Amino acid sequence: MNYQRPWNSYRQISAHTASPGQLVLMLYDGAIRFLERSLSGFTMDDPIEFNQTINNNLLRAQDIISELSSTLDMTQGGELALTLRRLYDYMDDRLMESNLRKTPEGIDDTLRRLTILRDAWQEMLQRRTTESTHYPTEATTLCACG
């Protein structure tokens, strides 16, 4: 029996039914997960596994960071969207450097920064949900993913 199939179905349904804010949170979670997996490559003795684990997971994390950057609404997001775009570019550069040199420093730096952003985004979503139950107003989002 293939146990991956129900998990994949769940993830697909979650992605299709999530709000734009939840999708951003899912992207942060995915990038963090791939960065953590890439760090596990540094413990591998086999050079092929070492390189493939680091490379493949960093490329996936970079794809997610690129998606986060491309969904920023630069017209509505103002200075914050511009700052996030620069931060995503910085993280992408750090991951590229870590992948080329096979060093963990850029991965650790990016992981720390993404975790802070992810936690802040989750907090914002929770506050927005709480406020919308008390005050039915629409909050402005930074992403154009809706």
All domains in the chain, ordered by first residue:
19-132 (1.20.120.340)
Q: What's the confidence (pLDDT) of residue 3?
A: 61
**Over its length of 146 residues, how does the chain's per-residue pLDDT go in tens digits?**
556 665 455 455 555 568 889 999 999 999 999 999 999 999 999 999 999 999 999 999 999 999 999 999 999 999 999 999 999 999 999 999 999 999 999 999 999 999 999 999 999 999 988 876 654 444 445 565 54
Closest CA to 89 of 65, 108, 73: 65
Q: What's the confidence (pLDDT) of residue 5?
A: 66
Q: What's the confidence (pLDDT) of residue 145?
A: 53
Helix (H, G, I), strand (E, B) or coil at 92: helix
Q: What's the confidence (pLDDT) of residue 128?
A: 86
Q: Which residues contact 131 (CB under 8 A, 6 or more apart)?
A: 137, 139
Closest CA to 111 of 32, 3, 51, 41: 32
